[in-house]
Amino acid sequence: MLAVAIALGAAAPAHAAWPVCVQRTTPVRTGLSETGRTAEGRLLTLGLRSRAMGRQKVDVLLPRSYDRSGRTRYPVLYLLHGAGGDRRDWVDDLGLRELVGRMRLIVVMPDGSERDPRRNGGYSDWFGLEAGAAGRAPAWESFHVRELVPFIDRRFPTLAGPAGHAVAGISMGGGGAVKYAAAFPGTFGYAASLSGSLDPSIDRRNPSCKAGDPDEHEVVWRDNSPTALAGNLRGVRLFVRSGDGTPGPFDPASAPSDPVEAVIWRTRLATEAGAHVMAERFAAEIRRQRVGGLDLRFYRGSHSRPYWRRELAQALRWLDAQLRRPPRRRRSFTVASARESFSAWGWTFRARRRVREFAYVRVGHGRLTVRGSGRLDVTTPGRRRFSISLGRSHTRDQTRFTPAAIRAWRRVSVRLR
């Protein structure tokens, strides 16, 4: 569930006291191998060994009448569960087999969180761990996008690229789905959020080291926010659904008499009201940046499974229609990223700087334009490599993000042959 209760109107601080976080100091290592698989009809469970996240299991639902020869190529849908859930939620609780029906679609369902609620996954590569904590910081984003997506494309007859990659999720997973599409433009052509956490800046009441202290590391928060990264979503088809936090057809019209049930009722409504506010903010940013491609609807209802099953069925019908006219790979694009390494529409970039800040990149009309500091190593879709010097690295992490705040940053434009 989202951990936000805006609808209650409680007088709460902007965020609670944050733990002392020890920042990750080495890059996430990637590499995925299969250790075994089991089959339950057309539902496969893959055992995997991930360099980013250790031993993992992933469920894969194959289409009916699946062509095992490899001659038929299938689009792939990645489904991301909500907080407190796991990969089995889709089949066991939401009836995925029936909802998918006869769609010619491979569905991939990974885990995205640990059982320890203090290490709730968040679909991100964590900033670090609490001081004194054992183990390594989770790297869910690298596991899902940098390891699992190419692994599935190698092991199954998929329709690779944005035309054949879709991602969707519920609650925490809805935010993760849209964040993945925004953080890696050109990887997913379609993204769907059901009651999703689309603006983490609203939800700062659960201290963890997932993105660090927002007062000190807002750049990390923004780099993991679907709303802050909305400008990267040009070319992605978007499906967003949320309840408004008022009782709907699957809720009691008023608080139940049982005290425990009454608390659950209020919490579900308040949580969905928070998701509604996030969706409105996300949609406003999509409109402000003229991104387009957004199918947005709200409904009366709470943060609960009956609504997600209904909306998942709609999302699958929406995706089925979108796949008949897939998006094209973009030759012109803009992307903003504070990651050390990032990709967009077949291009890859590696920033070499001493601080955490955004690189602002524009490709189009025969030119590549970058604003930032340090050096940016570039690899084109045709595998040409070159570097752009942006002067000395800044000495402090970025704290201001408006166009006026970065106007004095060095801007370099190069001609592309």
Domain ranges of the chain: 6-322, 333-415
Work out the average pLDDT over 29-39: 96
Q: Is 8 helix (H, G, I), strand (E, B) or coil?
A: helix
Q: Is 278 helix (H, G, I), strand (E, B) or coil?
A: helix
Work out the average pLDDT over 246-274: 96
Pick the CATH number of 6-322 from 3.40.50.300, 3.40.50.1820, 3.30.565.10, 3.40.50.720: 3.40.50.1820
pLDDT at 103: 95
Q: Residue type for 298, please?
A: F
pLDDT at 253: 96
Task: In whole angstroms, give the CA distance from residue 94 to residue 61.
Answer: 14
Work out the average pLDDT over 170-182: 97
pLDDT at 121: 84
Task: In whole angstroms, give the CA distance from residue 330 to residue 381.
Answer: 11
The per-residue pLDDT for range 47-98, each reduced to its tens digit, is: 999 999 999 999 999 999 999 999 999 999 999 999 989 999 999 999 999 9
Work out the average pLDDT over 24-38: 94
Tokens encoding 88: 């089995």
State the pLDDT confidence band at 2, using cuts at 50, 70 and 90.
very low
pLDDT at 376: 98
Mean pLDDT of the chain: 93
Q: Does pTM top 0.85 for this prediction?
A: yes
pLDDT at 5: 42
The per-residue pLDDT for range 90-138, each reduced to its tens digit, is: 999 999 999 999 999 999 999 998 766 666 788 999 999 999 888 889 9
State the pLDDT confidence band at 10, using cuts at 50, 70 and 90.
very low
Place of tokens 């059901």: 194
The per-residue pLDDT for range 196-224, each reduced to its tens digit, is: 999 988 877 678 899 999 989 999 999 99
Exposure string of 226-254, with b = 16+ CB inside 10 Å and e = fewer, is bbbbbbbbbbbbbbbbbbbbbbbebbeee
Phi then psi for residue 145, to 5 deg, are -90, -45
Distance of CA 253 to the CA centre of its chain: 34
The per-residue pLDDT for range 290-305, each reduced to its tens digit, is: 999 999 999 999 999 9
Task: In whole angstroms, give the CA distance from residue 389 to residue 370.
Answer: 10
- Residues 372, 388 contacting (CB under 8 angstroms): no
Dihedral of CA 213/348/169/109: which sign?
negative
pLDDT at 7: 36
Tokens encoding 247: 């009782």
Neighbours of 297 (CB within 10 A): 11
pLDDT at 417: 79
Work out the average pLDDT over 1-8: 41
Residue 332 pLDDT greater than 70, yes or no? yes
Beta strand 385-389 with 375-379 is antiparallel
pLDDT at 117: 62
pLDDT at 232: 98
State the pLDDT confidence band at 17, using cuts at 50, 70 and 90.
confident
Half-sphere exposure of residue 406: CA atoms within 13 angstroms, side-chain side: 19
Least confident of 132-141, 203-212, 305-314, 336-345: 203-212
Task: In whole angstroms, give the CA distance from residue 362 to residue 334.
Answer: 4
Work out the average pLDDT over 383-410: 95
State the pLDDT confidence band at 15, using cuts at 50, 70 and 90.
low
